[in-house]
């Protein structure tokens, strides 16, 4: 047992470098171009030369891909106008060139300092993702950190064909503190880390079918999972949307009144809750009977 | 003629017990009767010991005491190790305390500083742990001791569980001087797992309506260890542990030393140091030691207290830890501190502030914390006579004079040059030297560890070997050399630093064979709490605030 580099502890550029073929990444609109947020500057808040997202082209297993990684250290990876425009452009290019697009997510959603611009940018990126899907160009979201995918980015991640998660990754709309604020500490204690991860963490999302792969917190494992999904895509049709809607209605009916996340796990066929809690991502995936 | 039966102190105890009357049934008191009983057994002018340890608190008794008023109870001379709870502060606010003698006020440091400013904190002295326990046997013997135990049986025998801590050091002097010992327990049972305090030394027992307050103090999440701390740990391992072959030691409770513990099974193994260093420990059952223990590095661990969540693991590893026959963990602060004073090669810990002479302190005008145990271990025990390799080697370096011992304990301060919020660790003068603090403490500056006792300072810049310095000026130059970009560090002179480096008094990472670019969290045996649980084979139960699964 010796330590290894954990994907969730790496920076955005380190993550891309670790994921793609050596020296294959060419960054687009890199920091020297100094595309910074005009809104943050007006508010006297420090800006970042990449506005919190790294985008570019690379190869993975010899195949061309477009790839982006959000920078959680910069305003929590939140999406502003420039950040969002970079993502929109990347997915549009993917659709145009019929090249798969991978998004390494680390974002709480829209940047509050430029709310409207951020909202519009996320909506435009979603539209670009749907363009990809209409053309059967695979789109894959990787969610591997505790900043996770929340707010608009949580929704955006579910617009992609597939989601690869680790047990550290979290996926949701409202964050734990917001839920606690509106529902009360009795309903949802945001300081209860075990509860937070059991409701929004990678394991539960995999169990419910929201994540398509649950892997080790390492670049190797994530690369393998992404490589397997690169050849697949699922086009959106009216029928597929209706089917998904039915599934979600069924889930709400089944678990909507459940206050105990362990009950959800049990109902999904997890027998040994303590063992499953302690298990790593892939161990859990092996022992869990996954359902929709 | 005075006989054992008529000796005044014994007579006085008998009168107090007489006053209790029907408030107790034998030794047992119902929770509702506690305030009334306290009023009857404590007299004005008493030395009262309220058990407040580093982790364990007699909080029910403290809370009941705080419901009383000055008219019920006054002129109390309070003696206690740690001022920890709001109830402790309440006693001062109500004006019940004539004098206080204590060791540490970590969680209430700000409240204590406020009391000092308001002149409501009549302090005798701030002590180190063993110093205060020693005075319990000399001039601060309690008349009444309010203590905390895990369980009592029907006779009043007590079981202290993992957190024995200070209890024996409080009970013995009290019980053997006709004092009154009153214990709160979590539960009363028919049979105890083991007897730690015999019923003969206990006067009253109450089953508290809630379990005693017990703080998890020594759990360090590996996820919060930084690459810089890993670098410092590598430098310390090579430049001190390896160099002196440190076999017996105490670790402080910071992230720096946690990094060292987690490097042993990886980096330490690679350096071939297993079996050569870090075999005998005086330290609490630190969760971050689990990988080193599981990798066979550790022969034994004696502790001053327990740690929440380590109960099942320590029971399973009774070959390493001291346990009762049933496997239940045993600790003892007085004996642990004694062991840390006399029987270890090295003490290594951190501090908030170090001055230009190597004195350290955690006290400031707005936060009076005090000491605790570090000074008992972070000092030179000149009463020591037994040699070890490390002791002799460190001694030879210090160039002992004809009237000095041949050996030296390694006393190492391991600090980053800046604390959180860019506050410099190194300063020309300690905040603790502030005149108002000195005045409140009768002219004493509350120094945690004196510069004369320190042998090494380790920072992210390198190691300063203070023991090898031959003058005060040289020691100051050595400290400046490792003080980085703090105001103290910026005053260093390049020529002096180079000269000290040439003589090996100052060592940079590369001088001890460490490449800074190699320092990475990935070297740690595990990067998170869950990894510790896995290393323990599921026997470690981390407190809930550390669990995200």
Residue A3: the pLDDT is 43
Q: Per CATH, the architecture of B18-214 is what?
A: 3-Layer(aba) Sandwich (3.40)
Q: If you write DSSP's letter for every residue of B95-143 in order, what string do you get?
A: T-EEEEEEEE-GGGHHHHHHHHHTT---EEEE-BHHHHHHHHTTT---S
Tokens representing B420 are 């959180």
- Tell whether B534 is within 8 A of chain A (Cβ): yes
How far B473 CA sits from the closest chain A CA (Å)?
43
Q: Give yes or no for a contact between B283 and B374, defined as CB atoms under 8 angstroms apart.
A: no
What confidence score (pLDDT) does residue B2 get?
72
According to DSSP, the residues that pair with B329 across neighbouring strands are: B323
Q: B548 and A1: CB-CB below 8 Å?
A: no
Residue B40 near residue B23, CB atoms below 8 Å: yes
B391-419 pLDDT, tens digit per residue, is 999 999 998 889 999 999 999 999 999 99
CA-CA distance, A143 to A102, in Å (whole number)? 11
Q: Say which residues have a Cβ less than 8 Å from residue A181's Cβ, sequence separation at least 6.
A: none
Strands B248-251 and A101-105, by their bridges, are unpaired
Contacts of B394 (CB under 8 A, 6+ apart): B244, B407, B408, B409, B410, B455, B467
Contact A167, A128 (CB under 8 A): no
Q: Which residue, among A60, A74, A240, has the nearest Cα to A164 in the 3D structure? A: A60
Please report which helix (H) or strand (E) contains residue B418, including its range: strand B418-419
Residues from chain B contacting residue A201 (CB–CB below 8 Å): 548-549
What angle do helix axes B333-342 and B129-136 make, rounded to 10 degrees? Answer: 120
Spell out which residues of chain B touch residue A198, defining contact as CB-CB under 8 Å: 549
What SS3 class is residue A192? coil
A284 part of contact set with chain B, CB < 8 Å: no
Q: What is the DSSP letter of A75?
A: G
Q: Is B521 part of the contact surface with chain A (CB cutoff 8 Å)? A: yes
Q: Of A3, A197, A277, which has the smallest distance from its Cβ to B526's Cβ? A: A3
CATH architecture label of B222-521:
3-Layer(aba) Sandwich (3.40)
pLDDT the model gives residue A4: 56
Same fold: B18-214 with B222-521: yes
pLDDT in tens, B474-501: 999 999 999 999 999 999 999 999 999 9
The tokens for B94 are 């109500």
Q: List the structure tokens of B123.
A: 């302090």
Q: How far apart are CA B293 and CA B318, in angstroms?
A: 12
Q: Which long-range contacts (CB under 8 A, 24 or more apart) does B486-492 make?
A: B486/B417, B486/B418, B486/B424, B486/B425, B486/B426, B486/B427, B487/B424, B487/B426, B487/B427, B487/B428, B488/B356, B488/B424, B488/B426, B488/B427, B488/B428, B489/B417, B489/B426, B489/B461
Locate all alpha helices (DSSP H) within chain A, ordered by sequence. Answer: 12-19, 38-42, 81-97, 115-134, 151-159, 176-183, 193-200, 202-208, 219-229, 238-255, 261-267, 273-278, 281-287
What integer pLDDT is reported at residue B18 of this predicted model?
96
Fold (CATH) for A7-171+211-233? 2-enoyl-CoA Hydratase; Chain A, domain 1 (3.90.226)
| B288: CB partners within 8 A, 6+ apart | B220, B222, B258, B261, B262, B532
Residues in chain B: 549
Any residues with CB less than 8 A from the CB of B81 and at least 6 apart, and which? B51, B52, B53, B54, B102, B103, B104, B129, B132, B166, B333
User: d(Cα B24, Cα B17) in Å, to the nearest integer?
Assistant: 10
A66 touches A230 (CB < 8 A): no
Cβ atoms within 10 Å of A104's Cβ, excluding its own: 25
Residue B523 to chain A, least CA–CA distance (Å): 5
Separate counts of helices (H) and strands (E) for chain B: 21, 25
C-beta atoms of A193 and B545 within 8 A: yes
pLDDT for A271? 87
Give CA–CA dist A217/B517, Å, rounded: 23
Per domain, the residue ranges of chain A are 7-171+211-233
Residue whose entry in the numeric block shows the structure tokens 């009549």 = B122
Q: Which of B326, B330, B296, B333 is nearest to B310 (CA)?
A: B330
Residue ranges, chain B, pLDDT below 50: none
**Beta strands in B208-320, from DSSP E residues, in sequence order:** 213-214, 248-251, 280-282, 300-302
Tens-binned pLDDT, residue by residue, of chain A (292 aa): 344 578 999 999 999 999 999 999 999 999 999 999 999 999 999 999 999 999 999 999 999 999 999 999 999 999 999 999 999 999 999 999 999 999 999 999 999 999 899 999 999 999 999 999 999 999 999 999 999 999 999 999 999 999 999 999 999 999 999 999 999 999 899 999 999 999 999 999 999 999 999 999 999 999 999 999 998 888 888 999 999 999 999 999 999 888 889 999 998 889 889 889 999 899 998 887 654 3
* Cβ distance of A194 and B549 shorter than 8 Å: yes
Q: How far apart are CA B132 and CA B426, in angstroms?
A: 29
Q: Which residues does residue B411 pair with via DSSP β-bridges, in sequence order?
A: B347
Contacts 24+ apart (CB under 8 A), B159-162: B159/B192, B159/B193, B159/B194, B159/B195, B159/B196, B160/B196, B160/B197, B161/B306, B161/B328, B161/B329, B162/B285, B162/B305, B162/B306, B162/B307, B162/B310, B162/B311, B162/B314, B162/B328, B162/B329, B162/B330, B162/B331
Among A137, A188, A196, which residue's Cα sits nearest to residue A172? A196
- Note whether A3 contacts B545, CB cutoff 8 Å: no
Show contacts of B381-385: CB within 8 Å, 24+ apart: B381/B341, B381/B342, B381/B409, B383/B342, B384/B342, B384/B409
Domain range annotation of chain B: 18-214, 222-521
- What's the CA gap between B102 and B92, in Å, rounded? 14
Q: Which of the 8 DSSP states describes residue B240?
A: I
What pLDDT does residue B1 have?
A: 66
Q: What are phi and psi of B73, to 5 degrees?
A: -150, 120
**What does the alpha-carbon distance between residue B479 and residue B352 come to, in Å, rounded to a whole number?**
15
Q: Are B213 and B518 in contact (CB under 8 A)?
A: no
Residues B465 and B411: their CA atoms lie apart, in Å, by: 10
Which residues numbered 243-302 in B keep a CB inside 8 Å of some CB on A?
A: 265-266, 291
Nearest to A3 among B523, B545, B549 (CB): B523
C-alpha torsion sign, points A72, A73, A75, A80: negative
Q: What distance in Å separates the CA atoms of residue B190 and residue A272, rounded to the nearest whole number? A: 35
Q: What is each CA distance from A138 to A97, A126, A230, in whole angstroms?
A: 12, 14, 6
Element spanning B529, H or E: helix B529-535
**Alpha-carbon gap: B525 to the closest alpha carbon of chain A (Å):** 5
Question: Coil, strand, or helix at residue B282?
Answer: strand
A35 to chain B, closest Cα gap in Å: 30
In angstroms, rounded to a whole number, what is the distance separating the alpha carbons of residues B429 and B355?
A: 5
Tokens read off for A19:
């994921």
Among the partner residues A2, A6, A197, nearest to B548 by beta-carbon distance? A197
| CB < 8 Å to A6, chain B | 521-522, 527
Is A192's CB within 8 Å of B544's CB? yes
Using a CB–CB cutoff of 8 Å, tell me whether B225 touches chain A. no
- pLDDT value at residue B358: 98
Give me the pLDDT at residue B218, please.
87
CA gap A51, B267 in Å, rounded: 38
Distance CA A242, CA A247 (A): 9
């Amino acid at each position: 047992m010796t330590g290894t580099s954990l994907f969730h502890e790496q920076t955005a550029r380190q993550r891309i470098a670790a994921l793609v073929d050596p020296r294959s990444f060419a960054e687009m609109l890199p920091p020297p171009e100094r595309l910074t947020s005009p809104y943050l500057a007006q508010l006297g808040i420090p800006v970042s030369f990449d506005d919190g997202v790294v985008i570019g082209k690379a190869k993975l297993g010899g195949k061309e891909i477009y790839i982006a990684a959000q920078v959680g250290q910069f305003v929590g990876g939140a999406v502003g106008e420039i950040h969002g425009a970079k993502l929109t452009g990347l997915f549009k290019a993917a659709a145009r060139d019929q090249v798969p697009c991978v998004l390494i997510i680390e974002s709480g959603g829209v940047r509050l300092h430029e709310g409207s611009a951020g909202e519009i940018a996320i909506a435009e990126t979603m539209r670009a993702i749907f363009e990809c899907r209409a053309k059967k160009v695979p789109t894959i979201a990787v969610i591997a950190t505790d900043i996770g995918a929340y707010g608009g980015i949580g929704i955006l991640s579910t617009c992609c064909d597939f989601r690869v998660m680790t047990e550290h990754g979290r996926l949701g709309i409202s964050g734990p503190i917001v839920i606690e604020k509106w529902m009360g500490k009795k309903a949802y204690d945001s300081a209860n880390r075990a509860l937070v991860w059991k409701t929004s963490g990678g394991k539960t999302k995999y169990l419910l079918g929201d994540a398509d792969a649950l892997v080790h917190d390492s670049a190797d494992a994530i690369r393998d999972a992404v490589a397997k999904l690169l050849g697949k895509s699922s086009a959106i049709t009216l029928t597929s949307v209706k089917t998904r809607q039915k599934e979600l209605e069924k889930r709400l009916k089944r678990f909507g009144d459940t206050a105990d996340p362990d009950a959800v796990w049990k109902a999904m066929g997890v027998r040994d809750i303590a063992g499953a809690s302690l298990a790593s991502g892939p161990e859990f995936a092996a022992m869990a009977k996954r359902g929709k | 003629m005075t006989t054992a039966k008529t000796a005044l102190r014994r007579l006085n105890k008998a009168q107090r017990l007489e006053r209790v009357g029907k408030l107790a049934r034998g030794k047992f008191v119902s929770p509702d009767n506690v305030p009334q009983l306290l009023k009857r057994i404590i007299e004005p002018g008493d030395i009262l010991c309220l058990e407040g340890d580093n982790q364990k608190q007699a909080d029910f008794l403290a809370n009941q005491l705080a419901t009383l008023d000055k008219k019920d109870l006054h002129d109390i001379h309070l003696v206690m190790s740690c001022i920890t709870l709001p109830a402790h502060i309440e006693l001062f606010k109500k004006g019940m305390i004539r004098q206080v003698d204590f060791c540490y006020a970590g969680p209430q440091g700000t409240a204590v500083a406020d009391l000092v400013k308001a002149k409501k904190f009549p302090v005798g002295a701030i002590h180190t742990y063993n110093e205060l326990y020693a005075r319990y046997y000399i001039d601060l013997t309690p008349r009444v001791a309010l203590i905390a135990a895990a369980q009592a049986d029907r006779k009043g025998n007590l079981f202290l569980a993992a957190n024995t801590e200070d209890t024996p050091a409080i009970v013995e002097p009290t019980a053997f001087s006709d004092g009154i010992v009153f214990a709160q327990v979590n539960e009363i049972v028919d049979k105890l797992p083991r007897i730690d305090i015999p019923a003969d030394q206990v006067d009253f027992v109450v089953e508290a309506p809630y379990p005693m307050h017990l703080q998890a103090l020594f759990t360090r999440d590996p996820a919060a260890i930084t690459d810089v701390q890993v670098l410092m740990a590598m430098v310390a391992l090579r430049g001190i542990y390896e160099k002196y072959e440190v076999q017996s030691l105490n670790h402080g409770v910071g992230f720096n030393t946690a990094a060292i513990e987690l490097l042993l099974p990886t980096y330490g193994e690679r350096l071939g140091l297993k079996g050569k260093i870090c075999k005998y420990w005086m330290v609490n059952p630190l969760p971050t030691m689990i990988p080193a223990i599981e990798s066979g590095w550790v022969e034994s661990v004696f502790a001053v207290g327990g740690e929440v969540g380590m109960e099942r693991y320590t029971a399973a590893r009774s070959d390493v830890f001291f346990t009762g026959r049933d496997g239940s963990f045993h600790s003892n602060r007085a004996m642990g501190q004694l062991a840390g004073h006399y029987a270890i090669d090295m003490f290594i810990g951190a501090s908030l502030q170090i001055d230009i002479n190597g004195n350290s302190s955690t006290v400031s005008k707005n936060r009076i914390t005090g000491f605790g145990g570090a000074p008992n271990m972070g000092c030179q025990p000149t009463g020591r006579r037994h040699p070890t390799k490390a002791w002799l080697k460190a001694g030879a370096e210090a160039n002992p004079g004809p009237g000095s011992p041949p050996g030296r304990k390694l006393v190492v301060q391991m600090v980053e040059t800046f604390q959180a919020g860019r506050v410099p660790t190194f300063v020309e003068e300690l905040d603790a030297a502030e005149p108002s603090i000195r005045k409140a403490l009768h002219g004493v500056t509350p120094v945690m560890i004196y510069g004369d006792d320190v042998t090494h300072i380790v920072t992210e810049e390198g190691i300063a070997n203070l023991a090898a310095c031959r003058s005060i000026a040289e020691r100051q130059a050595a400290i400046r050399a490792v003080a980085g970009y703090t105001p103290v560090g910026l005053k260093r002179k390049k020529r002096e630093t180079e000269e000290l480096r040439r003589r090996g008094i100052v060592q940079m990472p590369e001088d001890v064979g460490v490449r800074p670019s190699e320092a990475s969290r990935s070297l740690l045996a595990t990067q998170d709490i869950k990894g510790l649980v896995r290393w323990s084979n599921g026997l470690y139960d981390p407190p809930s605030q550390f669990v995200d699964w």
